[in-house]
Amino acid sequence: MNTKTADRIATGVFYCIALIIIAILVSLFYYILVNGLKNISLDFLTTPSSNVRAGGGIRDQLFNSLYVLVITMVIAVPLGLGGGIYMAEYAKPGKITDTIRSCIEVLASLPSIVIGMFGLLMFVNLTGWGYTILGGALALTVFNLPVIVRVSEDAIRSVPRELKEASLALGITHWHTIKTVILPSAFPTILTGIILASGRVFGEAAALLFTAGLSTPRLDYANWNPFSATSPLNIFRPAETLAVHIWAVNTQGLIPDVEEVSSGAAAVLVLSVLIFNLLARWIGSLIHRKITATK
Amino acid sequence: MATAMKQRPAETDLIQSKENQQQNMVLHVKNLEIFYGEKRAVNGISMDIEKNSVTALIGPSGCGKSTFLRSINRMNDLIPGARAEGEIIYDDLNILSEQINVVALRKEIGMVFQKPNPFPKSIYDNITHALKFAGIRKKSKLDEIVEESLQKAALWEEVKDRLHKSALSLSGGQQQRLCIARTIAMKPTVMLLDEPSSALDPISNAKVEDLIVELKKDYSIIIVTHNMQQASRISDKTAFFLSGDLIEYDITDTIFTNPSVKKTEEYISGRFG
């Protein structure tokens, strides 16, 4: 009887916790979307922002957010995945490996504003680039690398040892086994990690304030030459992202429609992260089904 | 007839048969010791493994038989702190030597594990995985080997219409035969089987046993098993291991009907282990 009651109470408590989490999430979404959706229009998404007048859009900020995300991931995913493979498959247990691991953990726990200051020093001043997309992406790489390394390492470690042995026992080299057996098996978990990291990149403001900057030059979307100053693809131009924009209009905005712009931008940010997640998961499951031959 | 052939040779034939034996052997194990860190798991065993026959390794859990088996294709390399001393001679080479190309060795000496471990890929890809790595790219050649090895593993009829379905959709017994097929496809000389049917139901087990008996025509098979009936049904020679020592190694019939060491008899009759 006693244990039965305890069991019931435990079940109840966990249901309550789940409800609280869902309630927080739903109310947050509700608040952001109800306040934001009415401000989103095609016009809002396709006009550049204004510094003084009402009616500015978020065209450049939205593009910058996506572009910074892509550049960051192009740098961070290969590095992080490589680090994860090294830690899981090649690193011999010992002092050096332990040191690397604690470095990664410390890196993961650094506040993003500190990484922003480091970025300012390294990628803005030392390199002499000024505020650039590349600088921002590098700062975000520092910020996300530990997460991706950690996730990849864990994902690779959780691949059953039997699979690895099966492949090695067939006379296949370690690297080919990693490439064709271990990574495909670890792929769904690694993808989840990358998606989570992407969400952080998308929403990050502090690390970008002093690296990618608070402004965007006048962009010409017809100009696809990545070396041209007005091209949106130029990685050596300053770029204000959505998250930074929301912070900027709220703290130093001169425009009369601060409320509308920031709530609209917040809604766009949340929706973009959502769409990005769903899209990445969908593509990921397609790839996974293709390699595992499952329906 | 079969038992008559297995009987021990008469004294006069002994010298002659010893010479024959040297040629009929595929592996010579000499003073093999295996350590896990400080702990010694195998205490200096010596034995010769016959070509085209089934050699069963029996003994209680932790007696070193699987450790020994895994040392034959250097799978123990994966275990940190494991090392082996002594010699295992295969094709005039010491397998345990540092200079051995482990990848090439494992093509010659294949292994099937206790738990069926197909790759999470299609049935077809499970077999071609290692072939492609070995450099076979031609589709027609791959198709041919896939069919041939599935035929040999007695799985072809069951899967020929679903080659491109996931291997994980197969039953446990089918998965294990697929793992055997995948090893066969590499055309090894020796096949190491580590309790290959202990995770299977009796019917699948019977199929795997039939398969092993069939396979010894082409391969030398070493099998670790906990199942005494299995050892007596399928093996030609049996080695009994106890706490890292090779206690007795003889023709299977002899081991099971007239063992010369008391410990062997006690183990076989189920008095311990």
pLDDT value for B207: 87
Mean pLDDT for B97-123 is 93
Which pair of structure tokens corresponds to residue B271? 């008095």
Q: What is the pLDDT of residues A80-96, one digit of tens each?
A: 999 999 999 999 888 99
pLDDT value for A225: 86
Identify whether the C-beta of residue A168 lies closer than 8 Å to the C-beta of residue B76.
no
d(CA A260, CA A247): 13
- Classify strands B54-58 and B220-224 as parallel, antiparallel or unpaired: parallel
Measured in angstroms, the CA of A87 and the nearest CA of chain B are apart by 15
Confidence of residue A216 (pLDDT cuts 50, 70, 90): confident
Mean pLDDT of chain A: 91
Identify whether the C-beta of residue B35 lies closer than 8 Å to the C-beta of residue B202.
no
pLDDT at B41 over 70: yes
Contact B165/A at CB under 8 A? yes
pLDDT at B12 over 80: no
Of B69, B74, B29, the C-alpha closest to B48 is B29
- In one-letter notation, the amino acid at residue B258 is N
What are all long-range contacts of A271-280, with beta carbons under 8 Å and residues at least 24 apart?
A271/A33, A272/A62, A272/A65, A272/A66, A272/A202, A272/A242, A273/A198, A273/A199, A273/A202, A273/A203, A276/A69, A276/A195, A276/A198, A276/A199, A276/A202, A277/A195, A277/A199, A280/A191, A280/A194, A280/A195, A280/A198
pLDDT value for A200: 86
Tell me which of B74, B109, B115, B117 to substitute to probe the interface with A (most A C-beta atoms closer than 10 Å).
Answer: B117
pLDDT value for B26: 92
**Residue A236: HSE in the Cβ half-sphere, 13 Å Cα cutoff:** 8
Which pair of structure tokens corresponds to residue B112? 């099937």
**3-state SS record for B136-153:** CCCHHHHHHHHHHHHHHC
Q: Residue A292 is nearest to which of B106, B115, B121, comparing CB atoms?
A: B121
Q: Which residue of chain B comes nearest to A290, CA vs CA?
A: B121
CA B212 from centroid of its chain's CA atoms: 9
d(CA B270, CA B273): 7
Tell me what percent of chain B is helix, strand and coil, each rounded to the nearest 5.
45, 25, 30
pLDDT value for A169: 94
Confidence of residue A75 (pLDDT cuts 50, 70, 90): very high
Confidence of residue B4 (pLDDT cuts 50, 70, 90): very low
ipTM value for the complex: 0.85
Mean pLDDT for B109-119 is 93
pLDDT at A254 over 50: yes
Specify the residue for token string 């039965």.
A4
Specify the residue for token string 């087990």.
B205
Of B47, B95, B248, B186, the C-alpha closest to A172 is B186
* Domain assignment present for A235: yes
Which residues, at least 6 apart from A93, have a Cβ–Cβ distance to it below 8 Å? B80
Cβ within 8 Å of A, B 91-110: 103-108, 110
pLDDT at B8 over 70: no
* Domain assignment present for A229: yes
pLDDT value for B2: 41
Identify whether the C-beta of residue B119 lies closer than 8 Å to the C-beta of residue B81.
no
Cβ contacts of A167 on chain B, cutoff 8 Å: 119, 129-130
Confidence of residue B15 (pLDDT cuts 50, 70, 90): low
User: In angstroms, what is the C-alpha Rg of chain B?
Assistant: 19
Mean pLDDT for B33-61 is 93
* Domain assignment present for A6: no
pLDDT value for B162: 94
Q: What phi and psi, each to the nearest 5 degrees, are found at residue B110?
A: -90, 165
Of A169, A187, A173, A172, the C-alpha closest to B120 is A187
- In one-letter notation, the amino acid at residue B76 is N
Cβ contacts of A160 on chain B, cutoff 8 Å: 117
* Domain assignment present for A190: yes
pLDDT value for B17: 54
Domain limits for position A66: 38-292
Mean pLDDT for B136-148 is 94
* Domain assignment present for A105: yes
* Domain assignment present for A287: yes
pLDDT at B188 over 80: yes
Mean pLDDT for B37-51 is 92
Q: Residue B166 is nearest to which of A160, A170, A294, comparing CB atoms?
A: A294
Write the CATH number for A182. 1.10.3720.10
For chain A, how many helices (H) and strands (E)?
A: 12, 0
* Domain assignment present for A18: no
Q: What is the pLDDT of residues A9-52, one digit of tens each?
A: 999 999 999 999 999 999 999 999 999 999 899 989 988 888 88
pLDDT value for B16: 53
d(CA B111, CA B73): 8
Which residue would you say has higher pLDDT here, B245 or A292? B245
Specify the residue for token string 């001679």.
B89
The tally of domains found in chain A comes to 1
Which residue would you say has higher pLDDT here, B219 or B22? B219
Mean pLDDT of chain B: 89
Least confident window among A122-126, B78-82, B179-183 = B78-82
* Domain assignment present for A266: yes
